[in-house]
Amino acid sequence: MLTGRRNKEFPQLRDVVYLDHTGATLPCVSQLDAFQRDLRNNLYGNPHSRSASSSLCSETVDQVRFRILKHFNTTAEKHTVIFTSGCTGALKLLAETFDWTGQTGSCSAGDGSTQSDHQNGVQCKDRQMGTFAYLQDNHTSVIGMREVAHSRGAKSMCFTSKGIQEAMNRPDGHSDSGNHSTAKDHATLHTQEATLSPTSQQRVTNGPLASSPCNLFAMPAQSNFCGRKYPLAWIERIKCKGLSGCHGNWYVVLDAAALVSTSPLDLSECKADFITISFYKMFGFPTGLGALIVRNSAANVLVKEYFGGGTVMAYLATENFNKPRTSVAERFEDGTIPFLDIISLRHGFDALDRLGGGMNDICEHTFTLAKQVHNALYEWKHDNGSPIAVLYCHNHFVSIHDQGPIINFNLLRATGQYIGYAEVERLAALHDIHLRTGCFCNTGACQQYLNISNEKIKANLDAGHVCGDDMDLIDGLPTGSIRISFGYMSNQSDVDRFLAFIKSTIKVSAAPSTLIPSSSTSSSDSSLKEVSRSSVLSTQSQLPMATAVLSSSTSTKSISSTRPSGIPDTCTSSESASKSSDCSPSASLSLAASSPPATSTSLSSPPISVPPESQTDIPMHGSDNTDAQFPQPSLNGNNLAAKTDSGISQTVQTSGPTEIDAAGPRLTAIYLYPVKSCGAMEVSEWELTDAGLKYDRRWMVVNEGGVYMSQKRIPKLCLIRPVVDLQTKQLVLTYPDMRSFSLPLETVPLETNETTLCQGKVCGDRVKTIDCGDEVAQWLTEVTGQHCRLQKQAEDHQRASKLAQGDDSKSSALSLANVSHYLLINKSSTTSLLNAIHQHAHEDNTETTTVSTLDNLIRRFRANLVVDGCDTYDEESWSELSIQGQAFKVKGRCNRCQMIGIDQGSGEKSTETLSALSAVRGKRIFFGMHIMNSPDLRNGFKLRTGDIIEVLQRCPSVETSV
């Protein structure tokens, strides 16, 4: 990062050398400003509510989930983000929900049970018990999982990196490496009651069990002590072959908190089942937010016990009953998630992206800086030739692949004596250098590298040394060390100033006594004398192992309701129906009145007013509300304008049995909506594709946070009229009183650059989209007055319709439309509705209605196809159609939402359309039919206005509601 830029982005670093990025890295100014702006400009409500502000919030949060997954090169199909209070929170959640005893049966795929007993050591005798195995070089927060595992009946094993490699190489042999010990009594006999939560009681009654236990192995992706990167290849080996012959399935949790602050992590490659991170380690803000990233295929092994706000579908206060939600994230995020913090993450990722080089560049940059320091500490000598430092380092910065930008060391005097870390820290402070000392929440690694035995740790504790104090030397030997770590904004001047500081310190320390002001840590502290030096030098320390035994009554199968479904986040079709905010992808029609594109002819119709007494009631077809009566418009001289296939308006009679066209229904208008939720483009003939009308709903408008913006959020969008110009192969966007904007139809300005790819979300499923660039974003922002961008559906991305089943699946590809390929409305039905609206207005003594014309009403429904020449609501009985010999399936009625309240010519909202519709149609407001291609769509097939519609099949009552 250029010095000027760093000064601007990190004013907090102006005078200091900050070298504790593994402790916490720093947020930059542009990130914080963008977040503030975001909060000022957007109304985010509690995501559990159902208001517009709530849905904006939850959709923005979902976009952040995608952003996180994208950062780690995976997708929501493979992984789920569960937000937690931090990396520690994620590890704790995992420990508490992991199915240690295989109750869910998710581990029963194991190799049966008979074979293992005789050949395994003590640890694996009881096949109901899972094992928690972990590397000694783990963060405290990982080691702490052990206690939860014990309380649930699992055993634990601690491995050095050498030990784990031996164990991996001897997957079914005896584990005699000495790295795991036997029972540790404090953990063993927790009372049965303590572990019998209501849920486990339910499980107990649920009958006989299962199954092999589930085992969990925990390793850091990068040691927070010394920066060692552990081989991710271990993960797959452990998952495949297990460890030390322990029976059952193995799962792996990768503590990636330290790694991801300066390195890429590719989850498409990494086989870990669980990955834990903290975001302040990546970009400094917010603190107190992390994630448990779960491989979806492993989600079944998490058993939910506690439930809190938002995580259950139903529960009883008076009875022991609850049903967790099915999506993984929803089940495990109890209470209101910290939604503003989560929304701020986008600005953190943006800050990383603005650097331009991605995590690989950050990785290289920080490694290069750290390596200079490492080499200096390694090579520099005192005048007498003795080394200046002891480095605690695995491989001396040989390779970027096994070393992160962390240097851990202690300084030595020329005499060979240690300089206490607390002393160094105080000196550093005088130089405005911020570093970290002690054991870094990683006692295991500290013991290994500093060669401190368990006995010594305990003796030191007895002697008064606790984590975090400044008793840096006991008996002349260090109780901890010094760690410096680099972040993406670190620069050469940080290195230079640090090395200058080391030089001066070494000089000072060459003198027999230090010039540093008093320290309680002098090596001659008499109270510590009795701690024997030899104990410090004892051999490789081992953490005690523990075995816990739990009554088998808790090891029963979990009730099925507690099992997560494998696939998170995906609406079922019924859910999507109710959520489907605007039926719109296929839902309605709009033509902006202002500047019609050359290729279209706008509808025009005179205002009509139908006296109420002229109406007749007819029974409706296919309605679920048989009480509803439909006012039937009578013509009484009120002829309505309609287009014929020639495109010339003529007056036709629109309704009433006698007016039915002898030739049957005809197609009278075709509309596409190239940009979802923007204005319509009317055409007289148009090519069909597997996903509907060519170019229909291929683009969409998103806000800065990547959230899809519909007319419900920005009503003005209907005034943007996109025109597909097939001649010039351009999409032309027009807006009243604005210069138009053209962009290529096919060759999207995509530099096949991954960062321009982004995932959108339509009705709960995910769409791969391509960002169309800054220029059009600028245009849209001018038009709407909000920061907006245009995205195009990626060509390779196929969405499947929720309405498709069985043989339809081939033909069910969708554009950005929510539900189906085409939405069809019947002009007679629309006329009838118009009459009802006018009747309502009349009854209410409302003189004016904004729905003055048939044209206006048709546009509100944003249909693709308008038919005429058949009875009012006749379309609701259709189930199969043929047009020019090409078959189409009718999939059901379209459930309407508030979007039909938006006047597509003005962007004004009113409620009368929806209330009239609900008055005449009952509670579920259906209008128009969803149509799908049949699988045999002819290549290049074109629909034309005037096409005769043959109704091949009818069903008396279409109950599909979408």
Question: Which C-beta is closer to ligand PLP: that of 113 or that of 140?
Answer: 140
User: Which CB sits closer to ligand PLP, 133 or 929?
Assistant: 133
Give least dist CB 355 to ligand PLP, A.
Answer: 21
The amino acid occupying position 285 is F
Query: Which residues, numbered 698-717, are part of the site for ligand PLP (CB under 6 A)?
Result: none
**Nearest CA-CA partner of 68 in 304, 337, 292, 401:** 292
Site residue total, ligand PLP (CB under 6 A): 14
Query: How many CB atoms neighbour CB 590 within 10 A?
Result: 30
The least distance separating ligand PLP from the CB of residue 86, rounded to whole angstroms, comes to 3
According to the binding rule CB under 6 A, does residue 87 interact with ligand PLP? yes
> What is the smallest separation between the CB atom of 135 and ligand PLP, expressed in angstroms?
11
Cβ distance to ligand PLP smaller for residue 141 or 601 = 141
Residue with tokens 């006012």: 631
What is the C-alpha separation between 606 and 200, in angstroms, rounded?
70
Give the binding range for ligand PLP (CB under 6 A) out of 155-163, 251-259, 460-468, 647-655: 251-259
- Please, which residue, 86 or 248, has the CB nearer to ligand PLP? 86
Which amino acid is it at 325? R
Give the binding range for ligand PLP (CB under 6 A) out of 71-79, 255-263, 387-395, 918-926: 255-263
Catalytic residue among 57, 87, 246, 441: 441
Q: How far is the CB of 32 from ligand PLP (least distance, A)?
A: 19
Q: Which of 601, 598, 694, 613 is nearest to 641 (CA)?
A: 601
Q: Are 333 and 80 in contact (CB under 8 A)?
A: no
Nearest distance from C-beta of residue 122 to ligand PLP, angstroms: 30
Nearer to ligand PLP, 132 or 695 (CB): 132
| CB closer to ligand PLP, 145 vs 683 | 145
Query: CA-to-CA distance for 474 and 483, rounded, in angstroms?
Result: 19
Binding region for ligand PLP (CB under 6 A) out of 81-89, 166-174, 187-195, 599-607: 81-89
Nearer to ligand PLP by C-beta: 144 or 310? 144
Q: Least distance to ligand PLP from the beta carbon of 219, Å?
A: 10
Name residues whose C-beta falls within 8 Å of residue 637's C-beta, 6 or more positions apart in sequence: none
Candidates 63, 101, 224, 600; binder of ligand PLP (CB under 6 A) is: 224
| Binding residue for ligand PLP, selected from 34, 149, 258, 428, defined by CB under 6 A | 258
DSSP assigned state of 705: T
Residues 516-535 contacting ligand PLP, CB under 6 A:
none
Residue 641 CB burial class (10 angstroms; 0-12, 13-18, ≥19):
middle
Shortest spacing between CB 296 and ligand PLP, in angstroms: 23
Which C-beta is closer to ligand PLP: that of 141 or that of 322?
141
Is 88 among the residues that bind ligand PLP (CB under 6 A)? yes
At 274, list the tokens.
């669980």
- How many whole angstroms separate alpha carbon 422 and alpha carbon 469? 9
Find all residues with CB under 8 Å of 458, minimum gap 6, and list them.
none
Query: Which residue in 124, 135, 168, 257 binds ligand PLP (CB under 6 A)?
Result: 257
Which residue, 279 or 501, has its beta carbon nearer to ligand PLP?
279
Per-residue DSSP letter, 545: P
Q: Does 487 bind ligand PLP (CB under 6 A)?
A: no
User: Which tokens go with 293?
Assistant: 């990233």
Tell me the helix, strand and coil percentages in the chain, rounded to 5: 30, 20, 45
Give the bridge partners for 485, in sequence order: 20, 406
Residue 290 within binding range of ligand PLP, rule CB under 6 A = yes
Is 278 a binding residue for ligand PLP by CB under 6 A? The answer is yes
Asked if 950 contacts 907 with a C-beta cutoff of 8 angstroms, the reply is no
Read off the tokens for 74.
């995976």
CA 529/CA 506 separation, integer angstroms: 27
Side-chain-side CA neighbours of residue 517 (13 Å): 6
CA nearest neighbour of 720 among 736, 739, 709, 706: 736
**Contact positions with ligand PLP (CB under 6 A) in 892-911:** none
Instruction: Give the nearest distance from C-beta 152 to ligand PLP in angstroms.
Output: 21
Residue 581 to residue 56: CA distance in whole angstroms: 12
Which of 255, 333, 494, 874 forms a contact with ligand PLP (CB under 6 A)? 255
Element spanning 311, H or E = none
d(CA 460, CA 708): 59
Of 107-115, 238-246, 250-258, 591-599, the window that binds ligand PLP (rule: CB under 6 A) is 250-258
Asked if 857 and 924 touch (Cβ cutoff 8 Å), the reply is no
Q: Is 86 in the site for ligand PLP (CB under 6 A)?
A: yes
Residue 718 annotated to the active site: no
Contact flags string 100-139 toward ligand PLP, x per CB under 6 A: ---------------------------------------x
Q: Please name the residue ranges forming H helices in 333-453.
A: 339-354, 358-379, 421-430, 443-450
Of 656-685, which residues contact ligand PLP (CB under 6 A)? none
Q: Which is nearer to ligand PLP, 86 or 679 (CB)?
A: 86
Widest CA span of the chain, in angstroms?
Answer: 114
Q: Which stretch binds ligand PLP (CB under 6 A): 253-261, 642-650, 779-787, 823-831?
A: 253-261
Site string for ligand PLP, 192-221 (x = CB under 6 A): ----------------------------x-
CA nearest neighbour of 905 among 842, 862, 945, 867: 862
DSSP 690-755: TTEETTTT-EEEEETTS-B--TTT-GGGGG-EEEEETTTTEEEEE-TTS--EEEESSS-S--S-GG
Q: Which residues bind ligand PLP (CB under 6 A)?
A: 22, 86-88, 139, 141, 220, 224, 255, 257-258, 278, 281, 290
Annotated catalytic residues are: 441
